[in-house]
Amino acid sequence: MLLSAALTVLIVIVLLRLHQQNDVAQARSRVEAELALLRLKLEATAQATFSPTQSLEAMIQLDGDLSAQRFADLIARAIKHLPHIRSVSAAPDDVVRHVFPLQGNEQVLNLDYRRLPEQWQQVREARRLGRPVIAAPLKLIQGGQGIIQRTPVFLRDATLPEGRRYWGVVSVVADLQQFVASSGLSDRGPLELALFEADTPGRPGKHLWGPVAMRDGAPVIQMAQLPGANWALLAVPQGGWQTASNWLAPDVLAALLGGALVSALLALLMRQQLALRQRNAALFDEIEQGRVAREQLEESQARFRSMAALASDWVWEQDADLRFTFVSRAAEESTEVPSQNVLGHLRWDSPNLMPGTDWEEHRALLLRRQPFRDFEYAQHTGNGELRYVSVSGAPVFDAQGRFQGYRGTGRNITAAKRAEAALRESQTALLQARDRLQAVLDAAVEVAIIATDMEGRMILFNRGAERMLGYAEHEMLGRNPALLHLQHEVTARAAELSIEVGRKVEDFETFVLRATEQGSETREWTYRHKDGHPLAVSLSVSHVRAPDGSPLGFLGVARDISAQRQAEQQLRQLNAELESRVQARTAELSEALAHLRQAQDELLRSEKMAALGSLVAGVAHELNTPLGNCLTTASTMDERTREVRRHFADNSLRRSVLEAYLEDAGTAAKIMLHGLGTANELVAHFKQLSVDQTSVQRRRFTLQSVVDDVLSLMRARWKSTPYRIETAIELEDPLDGFPGPLGQVLSNLMLNALLHGFEGREQGLLRISARALSEQDYELVVEDDGVGMSEEVRRRAFDPFFTTKMGRGGTGLGLNIVYNIVTGVLGGQVELHSAPGQGCRFVFRMPRVAPELTN
């Protein structure tokens, strides 16, 4: 009994310990990620804070000394946006001769570092190392604590063995609290932070800022590289490493309540340990990925620091005409533009400048002889790369106040701009990845996600799987997923795979064989719910591998497709019903179409007969005039002949009467010959046109002849109207085709203009024109200045049975016949242009040789 109780207590302790380890590991991973961002910002702030020493060092090395004015101008620009800097000083021969700002720092001026042991030790250390040295924390005279960087300055001296001579030291003093605030460490959020100097083994050393006791509380530590020192940045969560109470965890309660079932609890413990190990392995992978990402970020930051260390400001001078007279060598190294290409030129003369810089405003400032700071522009190097440059300058006057030019400094800010862009992109990518992961986790309840180890034991059963299958996670962990499937489906799939691979496939391999070979497999299965009802799913199985390629297990994602299958069945039924309806409707439409075609043929015949009747009426009207003239002339001559015959019988015929009779007879003969000739010509035209329109005969003809025939027969219809007809046929070559259908097209269009185009108009003009388009094609245009058509009428003008005169004698087939003749018999194309009040314009493009007719 005691042994059972002791074993139960031991199991509970082990489970609690595992939960605590898991909680702490996750918390440290989060702190690591947040601390990495703070460390990068700390390094960037330090780089910006102590950058003035680099500019001073370069200026001193270039000029060999430093004037008070140039020192003040340079430092004022450099610390303009760095409020945490208290002062910058330059000490040639280790005696402070220059300090900025002077107000509040008067007692520092002419300070000899050799008389202050602590500061003298720092200066000697920087001189010995030959590089900047940072010391902190220091008690500031103005109050508070500070941080100071001392940079030794050496001048070239070939007479000395080491090739250089010690000039002095440049110091930058910053307020420690404000420096920390600018680095973003004061706004700690959920973290408690502290700064220490880094010992040689990389452990915290001297305390700088924050709680000093933090290094004894198992903090997360990251090393920050500053220009002159290495600091250790420590972080722990607010309130320390806390773990949630796990006494109410299912496994702990099971251990407390199941003391009597020791053997069963041991089995459960083994499964839980395995699951926790696998979760810890996944967590380790996540931490490892974070570490790799952090190393890559550190490598990128190291490259940035190397570039920043190599870069330095350069010095330039211009004469009174603003042309360069001097440019230091550092400018060539930074901009890759040789000095000979710059000297003697204006700054804005370079052909490689990028647009976007307000040079007009800059030139206006120079003409006012005003100083300028941080004027930025961009230019291309010789190899096409883009360089960003920031320059500052001040006017130079001689003793008499005459303007001598400008003098200033410049620096290459390309690396800083690129680093800022890369950091922004990295932060954006990190936030996007976090958002995507959170979205996936939030949406996971809609699908069942089940993970197994290589032996087929379930190690993950998410909430979506619980909702879909009715089982709780603790019921399924450690069990084989085969219990979720229908046995006959598993057996059939195993037999199918056995035939495909040529060996026996069974058990868990049935589900993962293809995923093992191909990486993943998607297949439809039938799951069995806890209550027994079947559930159709689409299951995607993926083979999970470690970064080194070793297999870890399998991941299955199941989607419920029961509703999809039901919808597919309903769709199949609907398609069958729809197909039946379509067949019935098709039969009805076919019958209706046959009746419609029959009616259309009857109307077409009627339309042709009506057109022919119109032609007959026109011919009759035209024949009436010449024949009437002939009849009148003949009756007059008959009366004159009887009168002459009477005079002849009475022997009273005089010569003058006979001569008058003969003169009248000649005139009458001319009148009768002209009238009969006109009638004969009309009859010939009618015969030809009636033959052409009642039969489709192919022959060679001229377009002018067809137009003349149609006009002669339509003249009677148009003569009684106030409307005019003009023709402009510029096509003389003969055509090979069907003049009858072409004449019917013209007749229908002329009748359409009379009935519709000129309705209600007191005057109107119909114009028929033609011209050659090429050796093969010609264009025929029939246009009027009538009432025109609306857009809706224009779109339907060629539709059969469409008419605006419905119920007033219109059949709606006139323009449809025109369209069918032109596009069918004549092999051409039709365009209709019209608008209300702007008339109608029919454009026909047809071949000179009409296509052969087919039955």
Task: Give SS3 for 499.
Answer: helix
How many angstroms separate the CA atoms of 524 and 493, rounded? Answer: 11
How many angstroms separate the CA atoms of 721 and 705, rounded? Answer: 24
Task: Give SS3 for 338.
Answer: coil
How many angstroms separate the CA atoms of 7 and 511, rounded? Answer: 39
Beta bridge partners of 226: 229
Judged against a pLDDT cut of 60, whether residue 438 lies above it is answered with no
Q: Could you tell me the sign of the dihedral formed by the alpha carbons of 280, 283, 288, 291, in that order?
A: negative
How many angstroms separate the CA atoms of 89 and 174, rounded? Answer: 12
How many angstroms separate the CA atoms of 12 and 23, rounded? Answer: 17
Q: What is the pLDDT of residue 822?
A: 92
Q: What does the pLDDT average to over 113-117?
A: 89
Q: Which helix (H) or strand (E) holds 379?
A: strand 372-380
Widest Cα–Cα separation across the chain: 182
In DSSP notation, 186-243 reads SS-TTEEEEEEEEPTTS-EEEEEES-GGGGGS--EEEEEEETTEEEEEEEEETTSS--
Q: State what percent of residues in the chain have pLDDT above 90.
A: 20
Q: What is the pLDDT of residue 251?
A: 60
Q: Which residues neighbour 716 within 8 Å (Cβ) at sequence distance 6 or greater?
A: 617, 618, 621, 622
The candidate with the shortest Cα–Cα distance to 739, out of 814, 850, 843, is 850
Please check whether residue 611 is in contact with residue 744, taking contact to mean a CB–CB distance below 8 angstroms: yes
Q: What is the pLDDT of residue 309?
A: 38
Please check whether residue 394 is in contact with residue 371, taking contact to mean a CB–CB distance below 8 angstroms: yes
Judged against a pLDDT cut of 70, whether residue 509 lies above it is answered with yes
Confidence category of residue 728, pLDDT binned at 50, 70, 90: very high
Helices 51-63, 68-78: crossing angle, 10 deg rounding: 150
Q: What is the pLDDT of residue 196?
A: 87
Judged against a pLDDT cut of 60, whether residue 680 lies above it is answered with yes
How many angstroms separate the CA atoms of 29 and 216, rounded? Answer: 19
Confidence category of residue 164, pLDDT binned at 50, 70, 90: confident
Judged against a pLDDT cut of 80, whether residue 374 lies above it is answered with yes
Task: Give SS3 for 747.
Answer: helix
How many angstroms separate the CA atoms of 444 and 464, rounded? Answer: 6
699-702, Cβ contacts within 8 angstroms, sequence gap of 24 or more: 699/736, 699/739, 700/734, 700/735, 700/736, 701/734, 701/735, 701/737, 701/739, 702/731, 702/732, 702/733, 702/734, 702/735
Neighbour-count burial of 528, counting CB atoms closer than 10 A to its CB (0-12 exposed, 13-18 middle, 19+ buried): middle
**Per-chain mean pLDDT for the chain:** 81
266 versus 442: the higher-pLDDT residue is 266
Confidence category of residue 433, pLDDT binned at 50, 70, 90: low
The values of phi and psi at residue 206, to 5°, are -65, 135
Distance of CA 143 to the CA centre of its chain: 56
Residue count of the chain: 855
Please check whether residue 392 is in contact with residue 374, taking contact to mean a CB–CB distance below 8 angstroms: yes
The candidate with the shortest Cα–Cα distance to 60, out of 173, 172, 167, is 167
| Mean pLDDT lowest among 614-628, 698-712, 809-823 | 614-628
Please check whether residue 448 is in contact with residue 500, taking contact to mean a CB–CB distance below 8 angstroms: no
- Token digits for 569? 């069945």
How many angstroms separate the CA atoms of 354 and 376, rounded? Answer: 11
Which residue type, as a one-letter code, is found at position 650?
Answer: D
| Mean pLDDT lowest among 349-363, 618-632, 711-725 | 618-632
How many angstroms separate the CA atoms of 810 and 801, rounded? Answer: 9
Confidence category of residue 599, pLDDT binned at 50, 70, 90: low
| Mean pLDDT lowest among 313-327, 483-497, 808-822, 838-852 | 808-822
- Token digits for 82? 């760095």
Confidence category of residue 782, pLDDT binned at 50, 70, 90: very high
Distance of CA 824 to the CA centre of its chain: 48
Over residues 23-43, the pLDDT tens digits come to 667 777 887 888 788 888 888
Over residues 293-334, the pLDDT tens digits come to 666 656 654 443 344 334 468 889 999 999 988 888 777 777
- Token digits for 853? 């007719």
Q: What is the pLDDT of residue 609?
A: 57
| Mean pLDDT lowest among 91-100, 453-462, 580-589 | 580-589
Task: Give SS3 for 811.
Answer: coil
Over residues 179-216, the pLDDT tens digits come to 888 887 877 677 888 888 887 666 788 888 888 878 77
How many angstroms separate the CA atoms of 676 and 626, rounded? Answer: 7
Distance of CA 74 to the CA centre of its chain: 46
- What is the chain's alpha carbon radius of gyration, rounded to the nearest angstrom? 53
Q: What does the pLDDT average to over 689-717?
A: 77
| Mean pLDDT lowest among 408-422, 510-524, 752-766 | 408-422
Please check whether residue 390 is in contact with residue 374, taking contact to mean a CB–CB distance below 8 angstroms: yes
How many angstroms separate the CA atoms of 615 and 621, rounded? Answer: 10
Judged against a pLDDT cut of 80, whether residue 461 lies above it is answered with yes
- Token digits for 561? 């497709």
Please check whether residue 376 is in contact with residue 413, taking contact to mean a CB–CB distance below 8 angstroms: yes
Please check whether residue 231 is in contact with residue 197, taking contact to mean a CB–CB distance below 8 angstroms: yes
Peptide bond just before 137 cis, omega within 30 deg: yes
The values of phi and psi at residue 184, to 5°, are 85, 10
Please check whether residue 95 is in contact with residue 112, taking contact to mean a CB–CB distance below 8 angstroms: yes
In DSSP notation, 576-631 reads HHHHHHHHHHHHHHHHHHHHHHHHHHHHHHHHHHHHHHHHHHHHHHHHHHHHHHHH
Please check whether residue 528 is in contact with residue 484, taking contact to mean a CB–CB distance below 8 angstroms: yes
